[in-house]
Amino acid sequence: MENRYFNPKVELLNKEELKDLQLKRLKAVLNKVYRRVPHYRKKFEEAGVKPRNLKTLEDIKAFPFTTKEDLFVDYPFGLLAEPLEKIVRLHTSSGTTGKPKALFFSKRDIWAQAELIARALVMTGASSRDILQNSMTYGLFTGALVMHYGAELLGMLVIPAGPGNTERQIELMQTFGTTCLHMTPSYALYVASVIQSKGLSPKRDLQLKRVYLGAEPYSEETRQKIEEMLGVDVFNCYGLSEMGGPGVGFECPAKNGLHIWEDAFLVEIVNPETGEWVKEGEVGELVLTSLNRTAMPLIRYRTRDLTRFITEPCPCGRTHVKIARILGRTDDMFIIKGVNIFPQQIEAVLMSIKGVAQNYQIILEGYDEMTVRVEIDREFFDGRLERLLALKNEITEKLRQAIMVRPKVELVEPGTLPVSEGKAKRVIDKRTL
């Protein structure tokens, strides 16, 4: 293991020591935003709290949340805690409408996040001998650049491929012996299907060992499908621009949840309606406070991502808290016939069915009807209608059991549905178009 980026003094700290470290950093960051960011001072005053009121980590409960809306007050520079001359980079995260969120990094922030990524990569077994093909979008999105810096810091050879041009991606893998990939899960499914359709054998023709997938919710079934198709280990990588991009949460080889580096983030899970802490192990909204970001630290940021704490000790020995894979976003949920549904529930069912290919779409037209359009393996279009019908029934029935609503299912040939190279758009909500 690359010792430089495996620091037992941080990663194996016992819980008490970790809490002491967090408390020290939390006090510093609360003081900083109170002194330097008028918007935070105002929010704290309105809530009747002062940084010096915080004596224990639990006292954070008295402090106000930061929401997406706060990022648009005094936009774009309003939440800066450092003067502009200390800021070296802008990233944005685009919502579905309006202005993008603007997130700023100081030099220290850039290298601190890179270090968290280097630590995470080492945790997955990667080293400076690995070759990372980075197929996330380079640019304003954090996905590619932030990972790029982390992988370079570790000493990996980074191929800044960006997404798309799948033939070329595969050529790069073959020519340079790519051992690690970083991409979105939806694109990985597509790339894996192209590798298969070219008759390439990942074991024989490629050197892939690890695939880092993130930037959008995906299911355990999708992970397994990609692992099987490519003969690799898939590691879940979670992050958000507001907290520095990828590398906030990362799976270790135990692959049952993501460690969040607690020396860098204070982690809470709250009931999205009441804002109260949920009971340990219950699902709620992830709330994060940046403990070591300098340019734009955010306090109790409501991520809108739903997850739960995994409380069992991790076999990898790391003490940093673990969360379950993101179940969905509070704003991804839709309601059909009064039932709350997350796209990922549908994905989990589809990816576990033999015969289903890589791509699907959910179309919402009314409040009591939904259509699931699914690509299935080409061999099903050989004219044997009975087989096709049996598969359609199986999909419909398994979906009904999982989501309690019977969807309309349409089977289509592979390659029919749009492929996304970045974040996939799975749900077409015609009710709001």
- State the residues that interact with ligand DLL by CB under 6 A: 93, 136, 141-143, 214-217, 236-241, 245-246, 303, 305, 326, 329
Single-letter code of the amino acid located at 206: L
Q: With respect to ligand DLL, which residue has the nearer C-beta, 235 or 380?
A: 235
Which residue number has the CB closest to ligand DLL? 214
Secondary structure letter of residue 354 according to DSSP: T
CB 298 → ligand DLL: shortest distance, Å?
Answer: 12
CB of 307 to ligand DLL, least distance (A): 9
- Is the CB of 49 or the CB of 362 nearer to ligand DLL? 362
Cβ-based nearer residue to ligand DLL, 246 or 407: 246
The least CB distance from residue 242 to ligand DLL, in Å, is 7
Instruction: Provide, rounded to whole angstroms, the least separation between the CB of residue 246 and ligand DLL.
Output: 4
Looking at beta carbons only, is 64 or 150 nearer to ligand DLL? 150
Between 44 and 261, whose beta carbon lies closer to ligand DLL?
A: 261
Alpha carbons 269 and 286: distance in angstroms, whole number: 5
CB contact at 8 A, 136 and 180:
no
Least Å distance, CB 138 to ligand DLL, is 12
Nearest to ligand DLL of 49, 234 (CB atom): 234
Q: Nearest approach, Cβ of 218 to ligand DLL (angstroms)?
A: 6
| Signed CA dihedral, 202, 203, 206, 208: sign only | positive
3-state helix, strand, coil in the chain (%, to 5): 35, 25, 40
**CA–CA gap between residue 145 and residue 149 (Å, rounded):** 6
Look up residue 123 and give its amino acid: M
Q: How far is the CB of 399 from ligand DLL (least distance, A)?
A: 21
162 versus 217: smaller Cβ distance to ligand DLL:
217
**Half-sphere exposure in the Cβ direction for 96 (13 Å, CA):** 9
Residue 284 C-beta: closest distance to ligand DLL, Å = 14
**Cβ at position 143, least distance to ligand DLL in Å:** 3
CB of 26 closer than 8 Å to CB of 57: yes
Q: Give the Cα separation of 387 and 381 in Å (integer).
A: 9
The single residue listed with the structure tokens 């304003």 is: 140
Q: Name the 3-class secondary structure at 34.
A: helix
Query: In whole angstroms, what is the distance from residue 71 CA to residue 78 CA?
Result: 8
Give the list of residues 6+ apart from residue 341 with CB closer than 8 angstroms, or none.
333, 334, 335, 370, 403, 405
The CA distance from 396 to 400, in Å, is 6
Chain centroid to Cα 148, Å, comes to 16
Give the residue with the Cβ less far from ligand DLL, 64 or 247: 247
Q: Indicate the residue among 37 and 120 with the shorter CB distance to ligand DLL.
A: 120
Helix (H, G, I), strand (E, B) or coil at 102: strand
CA distance 59 to 231: 47
Alpha-carbon radius of gyration of the chain = 22
Q: What are the strands, taking DSSP E only, across 218-330? A: 233-240, 245-251, 258-260, 265-270, 284-290, 301-307, 309-310, 322-323, 328-329
Nearer to ligand DLL, 51 or 143 (CB): 143
Residue type, 304: R
Q: Are 91 and 142 in contact (CB under 8 A)?
A: yes
Give the shortest CB-426-to-ligand DLL separation in angstroms: 12
